[in-house]
Structure 1
Amino acid sequence: MEAVRAQEESGHDGTAMLWSIQEALERQTLQIGASACGATAVVDVLKALGVDVAPEEADRCVKTHLRRNDSPLPDYLLSRSEAGATHAQLIQGAEQASNGEVIGRFFHLYPRRQVKLVPWLAHWIQKGAVPVATMNMQLAVPEGEEVPDAWHHQLIFGVAPNAVFMTNPLDLVSEEELHQRLCSESVLLIRREDVLQRWMPDCSLCGLSEHKVDPRWSALDVEGQVRLMVLEKEPEQQTHIRIPAAYSSGVTLFARRQSQLGQELLRAPELDLL
């Protein structure tokens, strides 16, 4: 099993690697489709655990949601709030695509938890677990860069002191930067241009405010945010609106169901609140 090699490759300095950087370059799966970062991560999770699955099958099992770009504004915003996949879809998708051989366990990192991220990840990687981060990429944006348009799932193939290595794209981020993105309330920023190009004078947003399944649409006053943006004379004042997001920020750890590690993951307690 590929992930078991983590124990052999882990050092005594807090370094733990599922793959070397060269192996990650050769083995990582690049984005397999629109909004399919979750399904892409599942392909690599299964690969790391010795289960080969076609990307199309992984995507089918994860049930990736797409943006409804041609819809009127209210339905477009609803589609944006769930576009892609949640951690629950990743867990279900990995289990289904592996015929029940692989299980996942999600650990919430919001609200903030009593955890040192890199040592915690190293602990599980050394045992052979395969982590996937579910992150709000709209946080910890480097100065001068544009705010990203979405959340993101990335497989973590290794850690070192104050460094986390991820795939799709192959990336190295600091522990602090990653922790900020992993500790986020479930909200999504929608760009001004994406709102205004779908706004029509007769557009009714009442359905969002009266959303019976998710009262956060009313709590965030999405309808009021849109109307303020439409009336605004100075565009730079309101570059985004905030809408509810279906995703929760945190880390999903995957393992073989029948392994001792798999059972340990299922029994592991939630991380304590700070």
Structure 2
Amino acid sequence: MEGEHPHEEKQTETACCASQCPKDGEERQGQGAMLWSIQEAVERQTMQIGTSACGATAVVDVLQALGIVVAPETADRCVRTCLRRNEAPLPDYLFSRSEAGATHAQLIAGAEQASGGRVLGRHFPLHPRRRVRLVPWLAQWIQKGAVPVATMNMQLAVPEGEEVPDAWHHQLIFGVGPDTVYMTNPLDVVSEWEVHQRLCSESVLLIRREDVLLRLTADAPLSSLSDDQSDPRWKALDVEGQLRQMIREEDHDDEDQFRMSHVMIPAAYSSGVTVFALRDSDQGQELLHAPELPLL
């Protein structure tokens, strides 16, 4: 959400092996559903339109899937993408990291504004964990012509040996198959388990040690993080204490000592799925009145 997607782009139909793609009849049986075929997704998907703009990128493709074409810059303006303040002092930099990109609420408002009110969205939180079978639930909405967007904490379910990404991410879901989810930006085929893990996350973000130390100065007003009255989570997570611990580790350069790899800060994002539909359609009205997913 803040930066580029961590995985290498998959641009060809070979990204979906035959064993993963929905078989004939599976969609009719409710086990799979596709807004686009793999080849259509290759041709139609919008690549990341700017820094931290995965949310606005998803909105472009949501509207396209619903038959509405808007310019990427229009979507970005309507979503009001927030940027990292990379040159700011450490506390302000961390505040900017906590909200960089966009929330699901910004996607909903952006899609509505960019479509002239023709599109509505509804967010279904998946944290705390819900009683839902993800693929069948997504398939039901896709079969009705609605368009889901996943808001995921990419710092969860990281494949072994890969570096922990530094951001959350919005991705349009253009189809599902048995135990499989198909997404754009980048074109990706991911297991249901992996997606579900990332969709069920606390609203937190890990900031890399090097990103902290790069901006750490002797006069950095770290106490301002605990004093933030607008979001008590900064104090609850003891971000100030985490930073002071990292400073102590730097002051005592002991190779055998455990060293924090990240600082955990609050994040503005809410993990889950936002479903979009045309406001005046049957799907739109059903979306408005659909019950919340029950807690486990």
Normalising by the smaller structure, the TM-score range is over 0.9
Matches within 5 A, 1:194-213: 194-213=211-230
Residue 264 of structure 2 is aligned to residue 251 of structure 1: no
Residue 143 of structure 2 is aligned to residue 123 of structure 1: no
1:246 maps to a residue whose letter is: A
Residue 289 of structure 2 is aligned to residue 267 of structure 1: yes
**Deviation, structure 1 residue 9:** 9.4
DSSP 3-state at the match of 1:77: helix
Residue 194 of structure 2 is aligned to residue 138 of structure 1: no
1:248 maps to a residue whose letter is: S
What is the rounded CA distance, in whole Å, between the counterparts of 1:256 and 1:191 in structure 2?
A: 40
Matches within 5 A, 1:152-231: 152-231=169-248
**Deviation, structure 1 residue 199:** 0.3
Q: Which has the higher helix share?
A: 1
Give 1:76's aligned residue.
Answer: 93
Query: Gaps spanning 5+ residues in structure 2: where?
Result: 1-24
TM normalised by structure 2 equals 0.88
Provide, for residues 15-62 of structure 1, a one-character-per-residue CA deviation record: whole Å limited to 9, x for no partner. Answer: 100000000000000000000000000000000000000000000000
What is the rounded CA distance, in whole Å, between the counterparts of 2:109 and 2:51 in structure 1?
A: 20
Residue 72 of structure 2 is aligned to residue 55 of structure 1: yes
Provide, for residues 90-111 of structure 1, a one-character-per-residue CA deviation record: whole Å limited to 9, x for no partner. Answer: 0000000000000000000000
Give 2:121's aligned residue.
Answer: 104
Contact residue 171 and residue 185 of structure 2 kept, 8 A: yes
What is the rounded CA distance, in whole Å, between the counterparts of 1:35 and 1:9 in structure 2?
A: 36
**Deviation, structure 1 residue 13:** 5.6
Contact residue 86 and residue 246 of structure 1 kept, 8 A: yes
CA-based RMSD? 1.3
Give 2:130's aligned residue.
Answer: 113
Provide, for residues 164-193 of structure 1, a one-character-per-residue CA deviation record: whole Å limited to 9, x for no partner. Answer: 000000000000000000000000000000
Contact residue 13 and residue 160 of structure 1 kept, 8 A: no
1:262 maps to a residue whose letter is: G
**Deviation, structure 1 residue 204:** 1.1
TM normalised by structure 1 equals 0.96
Query: Gaps spanning 5+ residues in structure 1: where?
Result: 1-7
Give me the identity figure in percent.
75
What is the rounded CA distance, in whole Å, between the counterparts of 1:190 and 1:183 in structure 2?
A: 19
DSSP 3-state at the match of 2:52: coil
What is the rounded CA distance, in whole Å, between the counterparts of 2:87 and 2:225 in structure 1?
A: 18
What is the rounded CA distance, in whole Å, between the counterparts of 1:81 and 1:202 in structure 2?
A: 22
2:116 maps to a residue whose letter is: N
2:29 maps to a residue whose letter is: H
What is the rounded CA distance, in whole Å, between the counterparts of 2:275 and 2:219 in structure 1?
A: 47
DSSP 3-state at the match of 1:148: coil
What is the rounded CA distance, in whole Å, between the counterparts of 1:188 and 1:11 in structure 2?
A: 39
Contact residue 9 and residue 17 of structure 1 kept, 8 A: no
What is the rounded CA distance, in whole Å, between the counterparts of 1:13 and 1:111 in structure 2?
A: 26
What is the rounded CA distance, in whole Å, between the counterparts of 2:163 and 2:28 in structure 1?
A: 37
What is the rounded CA distance, in whole Å, between the counterparts of 1:141 and 1:55 in structure 2?
A: 30
Give 1:3's aligned residue.
Answer: none
What is the rounded CA distance, in whole Å, between the counterparts of 2:117 and 2:246 in structure 1?
A: 48
What is the rounded CA distance, in whole Å, between the counterparts of 2:229 and 2:31 in structure 1?
A: 47
**Deviation, structure 1 residue 237:** 2.4
